[in-house]
Structure 1
């Protein structure tokens, strides 16, 4: 029998409790020990996706975790990606390729087959690596969905993986989160849960010692650690929950607005802007006068026509056009770029009902949604400034006037000489299909200068290098506040039970660095 990599599963008491961040921390921690570690999430539901080096699509959280592990992302790390297009439907991406648009009920009918796809992907990873850090989705105790679960305890059971449960104390009710989660599970499902991490703690940890003792007495499992809230570094978020915050425009300094579309996608495009000193990034949901903003951005969308209808019905269409008429600067990325044109046509019903929807009419271009889906890593130039980003879109856009914005130098490593995007006649409206626009300091600096923010200091560190620093800081943070001896014991036990030979030796070597940070 072939040896298989050790596995450890990070599951949660709910959505946005910190599973992705804990998994990222463990990927970097073990990579620093010399362990060949890889992330895995059987099924991801997110419109925040990215492109692998071979031009396939996967969830951005697992791309982040692969970066933290020091390896190239591969679709086996996220074999199934659901990209919601409505309240009850999603595009289903299997092993990096869009397979279909399906309603929730239709998708659930295919769960058995898709579970097999996910298990095969995990098996392939376990033959290539020494340790797999698995991540769950939402709550692992959704009793109405448990018989169709392919990402939480069912997948941990398939891998014989010990489970660490993550709870979020910041949202309140942490004791009920933990005890209630275990109470909802039958005994055979509770058995793999080996310990708990309490995330996002604020205040004096000594004041929580009695709470730790109470939790351990109730669940008969250790609290592996209490992770304090961190603000000195940023890790890309998986869920749009992170941008569901009250709209605040404080002080007198400059602001940049991002329209919070109902089907917003790839909002991590704007993380570099959020890290800038001297400018405030605000996600805007309710229509308002935009005079206060140096620039307004229309982000990516998983349902461009539906979001265009929302802009019109909500009053945003008039607010955006009035902002432009008063001299405002606009940037559209991917779906937001499509919205800036004169029309978005969908003759085949790619996003829903076939038809055509008027755009904002601020760029002389029109879009037709059509297969196949474009997924590329893209090297581009804005005049003399060169950047690296990625494209994920259904559809082709044709400029009917004006001039293109970018030269495309390469896609998926193959040199080319294409054009992308469009510039309005007044130079104040820009659109592009390229995500990751702000990861390149030179590109961000030029754009800021064009919207009157040339005094804002842009760090010379590009996006990937900034993320690398954050992964190091995260691993230090986790090593400081988690009892890594408990985590190590769980990992080594899993490796031993799965007969991992060379992998087990690698893991044992890591113990010299116990408690790193």
Structure 2
């Protein structure tokens, strides 16, 4: 039992900051684990990330957009996600610019320089969001972003040590031993910080250890002696459960798959340059007897049972990439040979005859020729659609969410889904398009594979009906995974020491 000194007369909840030595070191996982652990102890716990940069987003019950990592953390804490948990979301549209989402609503596209010119206002927005959470919850687990010691960015920091100082939060720094150089990660981070900010750091967690843990005992002692700060534990690598990844870095630079090397039935997801919501396929990846590959380099598709075009944060740019690289010809040839193709959100838009952008929402105004796989046409225009939706595929009901800029008009074919509720409001409308006996289909619905019946019907259509869905599956499996994560964390991390830090 981990007892926090929660004073019901206290006006605001306590805070703990989980920062990192770099991107993708495990901050999100540690935050998720702590949300589950303290929520299980009856502590009203909520996640918070002042600023998130990711094209992997989701929708709150109010129909507002926020980062999926904080939605996952809210799920782990057993509470509804709210935009105050991620008040600022940056969705990269290119190498130097991002769409800025503030408190769940698209603000505008800004370059990095333009964004940081608004730093004072943005920091105030983030602080106000944190204050509101602290009025509602006993404990806020605050996640940082990237490295907490980016010297060039620290004057404009909205999310790491400056936010931890505002919250008067003790700081845990996560380092990734799998990346190599874990001692340099930790010592280098401290050396880049002024003494005042070094003093904010209370301890370290070493993540992704492989091998015999005893071999690192001397390393733990060295870190503690050198830094005079505690190593709170070493988290081993795990593969007996799965937690959604925050960033698409986990699917960067995928290798081509030779058809002769595909032993099990396999699905290909085209790894677009601006891919978004790639976690749509996590539930599919959990199926025994099915391999899901993200592929980027041009290759033969004949060995795959189905090809999926995923979401995109820049539909026209990624569509032009498909044409320029030769992917459009490969995909068309696969369709002509009787292959099954599914497009989701931006992928659905690309499958049509054309994508029009009269107002230049994704760059220069203009028109891009589609893949002409579906009889639809898309016009990109504001406002942005963000809904939690309930839908039906014939007699099977499902749940999902929609995040897209623009509207798609069906010219022929049949609608794929009937939508009967958006953001808790009943409706009667259609979504998507399907032709050739559902061999070619597209939809705006993210998360459709989290519903067992929907997944089973799609598997039947692509000729994989013999694959059995595990129990639990989809959303139920995610909740079980949070329990596994909490148990894994508590086994290897000194949570009682973390409680002491919070109680100080």
The residue aligned with 1:444 is: 455
**Residues 287 and 469 of structure 2 are in contact (CA less than 8 Å); yes or no, is this contact kept in structure 1?**
yes
**Residues 15 and 138 of structure 1 are in contact (CA less than 8 Å); yes or no, is this contact kept in structure 2?**
yes
The 3-state SS of whatever aligns with 1:8 is strand
**CA-CA distance at 1:251 after TM superposition:** 4.7
The residue aligned with 2:115 is: 107
Distance (whole Å) between structure 2 residues aligned to residue 102 and residue 37 of structure 1 = 33
Deviations 1:304-346 (A, max 9, x none): 0000010011111111111111111100000000000000000
The residue aligned with 2:480 is: 469
The residue aligned with 1:315 is: 326
The 3-state SS of whatever aligns with 1:114 is helix
**CA-CA distance at 1:462 after TM superposition:** 4.2
**Residues 80 and 93 of structure 1 are in contact (CA less than 8 Å); yes or no, is this contact kept in structure 2?**
yes
Match 1:414 to one of 416, 419, 425:
425
Deviations 1:34-84 (A, max 9, x none): 000000000000000000001000000000000001100000000000000
**Residues 333 and 434 of structure 1 are in contact (CA less than 8 Å); yes or no, is this contact kept in structure 2?**
yes
Distance (whole Å) between structure 2 residues aligned to residue 53 and residue 446 of structure 1 = 27
The 3-state SS of whatever aligns with 1:323 is helix
Match 2:181 to one of 173, 177, 183:
173
Deviations 1:341-377 (A, max 9, x none): 0000000011111000000000000000000111000
Deviations 1:460-488 (A, max 9, x none): 53422111100000000110000111100
CA change 1:32–1:205 in 2 (3 A) is same
**Residues 257 and 281 of structure 1 are in contact (CA less than 8 Å); yes or no, is this contact kept in structure 2?**
yes
Match 2:152 to one of 109, 131, 144:
144
Matched, 1:66 2:69: no
The residue aligned with 1:390 is: 401
The 3-state SS of whatever aligns with 2:316 is helix
**Residues 362 and 424 of structure 1 are in contact (CA less than 8 Å); yes or no, is this contact kept in structure 2?**
no
The residue aligned with 1:334 is: 345
**Which one is further off, 223-232 or 2-11?**
2-11
Quote the RMSD (CA, aligned, Å).
1.1
The 3-state SS of whatever aligns with 2:121 is helix
Question: How many residues end up aligned between the 2 structures?
Answer: 493
User: Whose relative contact order is higher, 1 or 2, with alpha carbons under 8 Å and at least 6 apart?
Assistant: 1
The residue aligned with 2:85 is: 77
The 3-state SS of whatever aligns with 2:150 is coil
Distance (whole Å) between structure 2 residues aligned to residue 269 and residue 461 of structure 1 = 17
TM-score, structure 1 normalization = 0.94
**Residues 253 and 296 of structure 2 are in contact (CA less than 8 Å); yes or no, is this contact kept in structure 1?**
no
The residue aligned with 2:62 is: 54
Distance (whole Å) between structure 2 residues aligned to residue 413 and residue 262 of structure 1 = 34
TM-score, structure 2 normalization = 0.96
The 3-state SS of whatever aligns with 1:293 is coil
The residue aligned with 2:411 is: 400
The residue aligned with 1:430 is: 441
- Runs of 5+ in structure 2 lacking a partner? 1-8
The residue aligned with 2:273 is: 262
Deviations 1:392-421 (A, max 9, x none): 000000000111100001001111110000
